[in-house]
Each structure stands twice: as structure tokens, then as C-alpha cells.
Amino acid sequence: MNRWAGAALVLLTMALCCTACRRSPNHTIAVIPRDTAEEVWVSEHGGAADAAYKQNLEIDWNGPTRDDDVEQQISLSERAIRSGDYGLVLSPNNSFALGTVIQRALSQKIPVVIVGAPISIAPQSGLTFVLNDTEKMGMLAATRAGEILHGNGKIMVLGFDPLSPGSVERADAFERALQRVAPGISIVDQVSGSMSFGQAELASEQAILAHPDLSAIFALGINATRGAAAAVRNMKAANKIKVIGCDQTLDLLFLLRHGIIDSLIIEDTRTMGHLAVQQIAAQRRGESVPSRRYVEPLLVTRRNVDDARVQEVLSLRWRPKP
């Protein structure tokens, strides 16, 4: 009987040790962007890596290979939960589909920070937001449209996607700001739907044909901006139609430098990544953190693209800076 009791005790101890090992948090923060290769997310990588280095933490940086791949984001998030990661920094590419996995992380006491755009879940214990200031983004775009169109003209909004986080907020903010700063400019069309580059190009071409007096396109995302730029160039309408785009990639910045795109409203994802990692560390230390923090975007034109502040946000350095 004693031997059986001893064996049971050993097994119980081993099981408890295994459970304890599994549950003990490591010091790795999973950072999952919408897409890893575009410049906008490389900046987030750099910001998160810098902050983690200073906090003596590590980051596990990986994301889907396309910005509409929800399944890969869920899979990576679940891996972080299984590994008992120190925290999860997530930039969801769908407003609704990641709610369950976020709740699962919170139930495992893993702090989660949403970066970039809000989603359908409200802030709660363990869940905080570091967001792009979309009101400011709308204001920058509207002000720029007012400047280049001299307060009058017709503009189209391209890339409105209700399922893509931030898309609705950007379109609404732009509309509100336009009414305030340039009431003489009217929105003649709002093309919605999830868009690939080709689809955006086609939609832009059709809109240009449908509205001969169109004077500008405000594109809400990377693919929409690429498509708008390609359509304007293909239809030889570059002198007539200005493109104001959102978010930064190296090819969009190249087009901006060549005047094919008038301006880009870029997100300061470097600061967002930095703040997100800081928030995770602060939560783990038991400190209180604000449920929402907003980071201001920047307007980039050919005139200011080489400014130090703009180049700092656009930095390609993703390895931590000692």
C-alpha cells in the first residue's frame, strides 16, 4: 500500500511540475502584424524590438503572408497562448474574427495590446489599445485635399471595407473633416469591398470614366493606393487627378517621390510597436495602463519626405538599437 501511495505521490508531483512548467510565463512577446513585409509593419517591428531590448524581453515576430489571411493570425495567436507567452501584440486584419482568440489569451492571463485600428471588442482587464489617430488622419487628408484642389472639386473614396479594421473610421473621419475644412469639395463616389491591387485598379478606372470631372482619389489602404496610382497613370490622368493615399510601403514612397502619388498619410507604427511592448511590460509589473492610446499620423509629400521626423518613422531598421 505504501509503495502504491509513494508511486502516486511521485506521479502527482511530476504532473504538478509539468503543469507549473507549462504555465510559467516565458519572456517572449508575440508580435503579430497584419503582414510582415510592408514598410508600415517593418516600422512596428523596429519599435517593438527596441522596446523589448530595453525591457530585457524578447519578441517573436511573425505574421501572415497577406493582409487578409485571418487564419494565419489566429494560428500564430494560438501558438503564443500555448507557449504561455509574456504578452500578445496584435494588429488584427479582421474586425470580428479574432475576438475569440483574444478572449482565450485574456482567460490565460496573457496581456493583449491591439495595435493600429480598433476592433469589435471593448477594452477590458488585460486588453488595451495603441491606435492610429484616425480623426487626425482624416483631418490631414482633408486639409491636403483642400490645398491641392484649392477648396473646390470632386473626390472619390476608394477601398472602403467594413470588415477591415480602421477602414470605416478613416472614411468617416475624412468625410467629417472635409465638411469642416473644405466644404467646397464633394465626395462623388465611395467604392467599397475587399480589394486586391487589380480590383482597386479596375474600380478606379471605372470611377474615372464615370466621373470625368473627378479631381482626386482618397485611397484608404495600400492596395487601394497602388490601384488608384496605376489607374491614373494608365489613363494618363496624372495631371488632372491627384491621389492621396494611406499607409506606407517602399513602392508607394517611390511613386510619391516621382509625383505619381501626391501625398501619403503614414501611420507611426514604430511608436505604436514601442508603446505596445511597454504596455505589456507595465501590465506584467502590475502597473495601471491607459486603455486606449492614440498615436498621430504624418502627412508625407515630396517636400517633406526627407525630413528627419518622417525618415525616423520610415526607418527600415528592425533590429533592436542597443
Partner 1 sequence: MTRRLRPWRKAALLTGCCVAFAATLILLVRHYARFSLPFHDSFASHSAKEWQPYGGTWKLTDGTVFNRSDERGAKLITGSPDWADYTMQADLEMIGHEGDVGIIVRVGKEERGIDSYNGYYIGLRSLESALIIGRADYGWMEAQPVAMPGGVRPSTWYRLKVVAVGCQIGATATNLQTGQEAWAAFEETPCVLKGKVGLRSMATGGAWRNISVRRATLSEWEAIRAHAATVGHPVFPDREADYNHMRESDFGQTYVPARNNSDYLLSGDTPGPLPPLVSIESLRNTNLPAQPLRIRGVVTLTHPIYVQDSSAGVAVNVDKPVSLNLGDEVEIVGSLANSGYVSRVKASSIRLLWDRTLAVPLSISSTQAASGAFNSALVEIRGYLRSKHMERDGTIVLNMDDESQSFTTVLRNTLSPETYADWQPGSWLRVHGICVLGESAVANGAAFTLLTRSPADIEVLAGPPWWSGPRILRIIIPLVLLLLLGLFLYLRIERWKMRAILSERERLAHEMHDTLAQSFAGIGFHLQGMRNMVRSGTANGNLTEKLDLACDIVAQTHREASAGIAALHPEADEGRDLLVALEHYAVRMLNADTLPLVLERAGTPHELSFPVRDTLFQVGREAISNVIRHGSANTIVLRLRYESKHVVFEVCDDGIGFVQEESSGFGIETMHRRCDAVSADMKITSVPGEGTVISVRSPYGRRVTVADWAKYIWKRQRARYHDAAERDAARVDG
Distance between CA atoms of 99 and 186, rounded to whole angstroms? 36
In terms of C-beta distances under 8 Å and separation of at least 24 residues, what long-range contacts does 124-127 make, across chains too?
126/283, 127/102
Do residues 31 and 72 make contact, with C-beta atoms less than 8 angstroms apart? Answer: no
Helical ranges in 55-161 per DSSP H: 70-82, 99-107, 134-148
Q: Report in angstroms how near the CB of residue 179 gets to partner 1 at its nearest.
A: 34
Q: Which three-class secondary structure state does DSSP give residue 115?
A: strand
Toward partner 1, which CB reaches closer, 173 or 230? 230
Binding to partner 1 by residue 92, rule CB under 8 A?
no
Tell me, by CB under 8 A, how many residues bind partner 1: 42
Which range binds partner 1 by CB under 8 A, 2-10, 55-63, 168-176, 280-288? 55-63
Q: Report in angstroms how near the CB of residue 18 gets to partner 1 at its nearest.
A: 21
Which range binds partner 1 by CB under 8 A, 95-103, 147-155, 198-206, 211-219? 198-206
Which range binds partner 1 by CB under 8 A, 100-108, 110-118, 128-136, 251-259? 251-259
CA 130 to chain centroid, in Å, comes to 10
Which range binds partner 1 by CB under 8 A, 6-14, 83-91, 194-202, 268-276? 194-202
Helical ranges in the chain per DSSP H: 2-23, 39-54, 70-82, 99-107, 134-148, 167-181, 197-210, 222-234, 250-257, 269-284, 308-313
Mask 271-310, x = binds partner 1 (CB under 8 A)? ----------------------------------xx----
Binding to partner 1 by residue 190, rule CB under 8 A?
no
Mask 115-144, x = binds partner 1 (CB under 8 A)? ------------------------------
Specify the DSSP element, H or E, that contains 159. strand 153-160
